[in-house]
Chain A
Amino acid sequence: MDATGIGLWGVPLAILGGAIRVSTPFIFVSLGEAITERSGRINLGLEGTLVFGAMSAYAVAVMTGSPWLGLIAAAFAGLCFGLFHGWICKFPKVNDIAIGIALMLFGSGLAFFFGKPFIQPSAPDLPAIPLGAWSDIPQVQAALDVNMLFLIGAALAVFLWWAFRNTRAGLILRVVGDSSDAARAMGLNPNTVRLAATGVGGALAGIGGAYLSLYYPGSWTEGISSGQGLMAVALVIFARWNPLGCFAAALLFGGAGALGPALQSVGVTQGYYLFYAAPYILTLVIMIATSSPSRSLAGAPGELSITK
């Protein structure tokens, strides 16, 4: 095969590479949301957390020169947002979905407020591992340039899948998510567990944001997130609250997101905007296909308001 002209083979290859690149923030946000939802709350504010995480990671990376410090800053910022959501939702009659919408607006607003001076300067990127170095074909190398965070996300998915079933913390989380009353009978405080679960979920979403601004697309702009935080919430439902399912669904969504650019790279420009909408359409179709009015979703935490 000619190394430079691989023709239409470039499309699936670009989709694969794109899936790996685009899916990483989905992986972190959906794993974080899976932890939160398993505890019986839903945090739609992760969209705002993602944007604020992207901004704080970029700002700290510009100021210190270290992308890793940026990553830590984003995780910490996400933790704060998550803890705030977890705290405020413990009050009676405070709706977790509505608070999520408010935090979505507030997080984005705050990120734009503080992020203004950081639109111009450029920050150091998170390093990638060239897993495609064995190949001479530049497209293969480009597709397999895998970021550390993708691998960490994959490992985290496996760990959470194991931990939900086999650890004390996982059991506590599931009990609280399935029945507040059962948890109280066991001497657990559901609000404390949910506070922790929402905080951890927020921190993971912050890391997803750091990936956006420090690796791909790799700069801070006000349009950096286009609903990834929300699609991840839908994705968790589709994945039935299973971390491994979240990982697979994130790859699928990443591939759908890479479809438009991949086709454009081989000269297909017709319907560019419709291909751009592919992940949203895919999410919607999956939600329609997997929901049913007559039975509740298998594996759904009993306390989750969205499935009641």
Chain B
Amino acid sequence: MTDTVAGAPATFGARGYPAALEWIARRAEAFVIPIAALIVGMVLFSLFILAVGKSPIQLYETMWRGGFGSWFSVQNSLSRAAPLLLAALCVALPARLGLVVIGGEGAIVLGGVAAAAAGMALNGAPSFIVILVMGVAGMAAGGIWIGAVGALRHYRAVNETISSLLMAYIAIALMNQLVEGPLRDPASLNKPSTQPLAEIYRIGNMPGMEVHWGLAVGVVACMLSWVLIEKTRWGFAARIAGGNVRAAQVQGLAVGSLIVGFTGLAGAFAGLAGMLEVAAVQGSANASLAAGYGYTGILVAFLARHNPLAIIPVAFLLGGIDASGGLIQRRMDLPDATVLVLQGMLFIVILFSETLYGRFKAFNPDLWQRSS
């Protein structure tokens, strides 16, 4: 039954259907089910909005206007998508190894603090060196933090889901301690912060738009991650180890190095997101670093089914939903948590849709009846 031809040849398959049709059917499942799940989630959310006495049509219209309807709102959504891309990679890369890491927030926060500290230490050096060192510092801090989660998982069998989240709380406490203590700028009174970065060390906007370069960094990181997972032997080895650790070890794969490497890289991306928040948005490290990007990133990664290329559109979608929260609050007199409810519903429906894969004959040409 495995006699289908790779690629999309213009011949006929074994069951007498055009091979192109079979080719499309086999791939359609990965698009149709998530999109259907998104629609179901939005319908359920409409019922919720009806139940609290508001108009779902007005809500989605407001959401469209706030997140996607104009060039201004699209730029706003793209700006929010930038950290989400990197935060989602922090979930998607370990997921290839079968690990559920949900503490990306901690790596973002520490990456931001490390970057700010590096920027303070190198004050006066040429700007490209400072920005480069800030990026490296942020990635190192995040990489060590999440890499430690992977190491604990492999060498001590500590559950990575719980340990990563505990470490996120520890990271936030560490940030508060550093920002209120040794790294505090005495001039920041109400909101303890590190010393603001000089203007030349700030990362600016991309040409022609009000979106900082972090978006491009995030998109490139997603593409590189896709190449790593799909086109390199490390990605292949990680998928084997994620399926069956024993089999991978029998094959002679260095499972420990794979786990620490993938979680370290995942943390490095999240740390880079923190560095970008400091260098491109906040200008200094402070409590605003723990803005929840790490948690929305979990949702992005699961919606994208841990495919780095799919993360790009999903991050834009959720960035837009996030961005429209303020407008929904003002126009419709709904709490700002409205978007959280929508996100929670989408998350549950998407996870539920996992049970549908492989259930539909339409997506599996092997089960089709012969046409002649």
Contact present for B355 and A109 (CB under 8 Å): no
Report the tally of A-B residue pairs with Cβ distances under 8 A: 131
Looking at the complex, which one of A97, A230, A288 makes contact with B158 (CB distance below 8 Å)? A288
Complex interface bits, B338-372 against A, C-beta within 8 A gives 1, otherwise 0: 10110111011001101101000000000000000
Contact present for B165 and A287 (CB under 8 Å): no
Contact present for B156 and A102 (CB under 8 Å): no
Contact present for A273 and B176 (CB under 8 Å): yes
> Cα distance A105–B176 when bound, in Å?
24
Complex interface bits, A122-150 against B, C-beta within 8 A gives 1, otherwise 0: 00000000000000000000000000000
Interface residue tally for chain A (C-beta within 8 Å): 45
Contact present for A291 and B344 (CB under 8 Å): no
B169: chain A residues at CB < 8 Å are 226-227, 277, 280
Interface residue tally for chain B (C-beta within 8 Å): 43
Q: How far is the CB of A183 from chain B (nearest CB, A)?
A: 21
> Cα distance A101–B343 when bound, in Å?
12
Residue B180, interface by CB 8 Å? yes
Residue B232, interface by CB 8 Å? no
> Cα distance A110–B52 when bound, in Å?
12
Stretch at the interface among A11-19, A86-94, A153-161: A86-94
Complex interface bits, A248-286 against B, C-beta within 8 A gives 1, otherwise 0: 000000000000000000000001111011001101100
* Secondary structure dominating the interface of B: helix
B163: chain A residues at CB < 8 Å are 284, 287
Contact present for B352 and A88 (CB under 8 Å): yes
Known: A93-B355, A105-B344. 6 other contacts (CB 8 A): A97-B100, A101-B298, A105-B347, A113-B337, A284-B170, A293-B154
> Cα distance A286–B164 when bound, in Å?
14
Contact present for A284 and B166 (CB under 8 Å): yes
Contact present for B337 and A105 (CB under 8 Å): no
A277: chain B residues at CB < 8 Å are 169-170, 173-174
Contacts A91-B355, A293-B154 known; A233 to B341 CB distance under 8 Å? no
Complex interface bits, A150-192 against B, C-beta within 8 A gives 1, otherwise 0: 0000000000000000000000000000000000000000000
Looking at the complex, which one of A99, A113, A281 makes contact with B341 (CB distance below 8 Å)? A113
Residue B155, interface by CB 8 Å? yes
Contact present for A113 and B162 (CB under 8 Å): no
Contacts A94-B355, A280-B169, A293-B155 known; A274 to B347 CB distance under 8 Å? no
Residue B273, interface by CB 8 Å? no
> Cα distance A101–B351 when bound, in Å?
10
Q: How far is the CB of A272 from chain B (nearest CB, A)?
A: 8
Looking at the complex, which one of A91, A97, A230, A234 makes contact with B352 (CB distance below 8 Å)? A91
Contact present for A106 and B348 (CB under 8 Å): yes
Q: How far is the CB of A304 from chain B (nearest CB, A)?
A: 11
> Cα distance A113–B334 when bound, in Å?
8
19 A-B residue pairs with Cβ-Cβ distance under 8 Å, sorted by A, are A44-B161, A88-B351, A93-B357, A94-B355, A95-B351, A99-B348, A105-B295, A105-B299, A105-B344, A105-B347, A106-B344, A110-B337, A227-B169, A230-B162, A230-B166, A233-B162, A277-B174, A280-B170, A280-B173
Q: How far is the CB of B117 from chain A (nearest CB, A)?
A: 17
Q: Which 4 A-B pairs have the closest CB atoms?
A: A106-B344, A109-B340, A112-B337, A277-B173
Contact present for B338 and A113 (CB under 8 Å): yes
> Cα distance A116–B329 when bound, in Å?
12
B46: chain A residues at CB < 8 Å are none
Looking at the complex, which one of A113, A226, A280, A291 makes contact with B340 (CB distance below 8 Å)? A113
B348: chain A residues at CB < 8 Å are 88, 99, 102-103, 106
> Cα distance A158–B73 when bound, in Å?
57
